[in-house]
Structure 1
Amino acid sequence: MIIVNSHWLHQIFATLGEGNEERAQDIANLNMINPSSIRKLVENHIRPYFEFMPRKSAQRVKESWRYALSALPNSALQALHLEDELELPFELPHDVRKFFQDIWEEMFPGEPWQIEDLSVYQDYNTKLSDPFNFQE
């Protein structure tokens, strides 16, 4: 069973709203529908944080991301940043699913985000009082 929770995705995106003004401005100046801007976002901001995470946490985030892309409707993807009042230094593109897929492809080249068997995933999004401290 693979445990997932959309709150774990916030561990990656929360870092985009943190830091100094220069960093926030650098991110805000990116065009989130442009592949080179998405590459810059990943290489300069998302990947360094992801690689710094403990292995188990990084795996949870990755599988939660895969699950979100495979199982959640567009409206839920669009609302991910609103759940914990996450303030991003940019507006999400209209096609948020493509945006998240593009980031996935930059983060994990050649690795599919599609899940063939959703039954092996257990979504704990609404079952946890403290999703960031889930213990298996």
Structure 2
Amino acid sequence: MVSVNPYFISDLLSPITGLADDDEAVEKYRDIDTSVDNHYREIIRLEIKTYYDCLSNENKEKVKGALNYYLSTSEIDFERVFESCLPPFDPPKDARNFFIWVWEELFEGENYKITNKAEYVINSDVNEPNRPS
């Protein structure tokens, strides 16, 4: 069994969480074109991948498992996850795409689709990972 926790999906957005209230950050990302995936991919590479790279190997596996599961199912509202983090820019037209791009940037060449959903169990205990300093 693979245990997944939806917490790790929103935690991955930590570097941009709450920046909707930061005028400097809003100005920095003001020119994001919500129809151009490369604008989002650049933010993912600069902010989210950098954060991910600082996580422990255990937490990297938890993030990967959560992304793997939730991208393969319809059991999470990606727009709600994205918006709840209050980032300094709007989501793409389909917020799920943002998380697909995160997967592609973090796990280049790997397929996120799972073949046997029954192998996964949702664990909603919020044991926050050790955050990088």
Q: Note whether the superposition's TM-score is higher than 0.5.
A: yes
Sort the Cα spacing of 1:97 and 1:18 in 2 relative to 1 into closer, same or farther, 3 A.
closer
Residue 15 of structure 1 is matched in structure 2 by: 15
Gaps of 5+ in 2: none
Residue 124 of structure 1 is matched in structure 2 by: 123
Sort the Cα spacing of 1:5 and 1:23 in 2 relative to 1 into closer, same or farther, 3 A.
same
Is 2:97 the partner of 1:98? yes
SS at match of 1:80: helix
Shift of 1:61: 0.9
- 1:41-91, CA deviations, whole angstroms, 9 ceiling, x for partnerless residues? 122111100000111111101110111111125x62222245xx4211112
Sort the Cα spacing of 1:104 and 1:28 in 2 relative to 1 into closer, same or farther, 3 A.
farther
Work out whether residues 82 and 91 of structure 2, in 8 Å CA contact, stay in contact via their aligned partners in 1.
Answer: no
SS at match of 1:114: coil
Residue 6 of structure 2 is matched in structure 1 by: 6
Correspondence 1:37-116 to 2 at 5 A = 37-73=39-75, 76-81=77-82, 85-116=84-115
The 2-side partners of 1:68 and 1:4 are apart by 9
Structure 1 stretches of at least 4 aligned residues deviating more than 4 Å after TM superposition: 18-24
The 2-side partners of 1:67 and 1:24 are apart by 31
Shift of 1:110: 0.8
Cα RMSD over matched residues?
2.3
The 1-side partners of 2:82 and 2:40 are apart by 17
SS at match of 2:121: strand
The 2-side partners of 1:104 and 1:86 are apart by 18
SS at match of 2:27: helix
The 2-side partners of 1:52 and 1:18 are apart by 20
Gaps of 5+ in 1: none
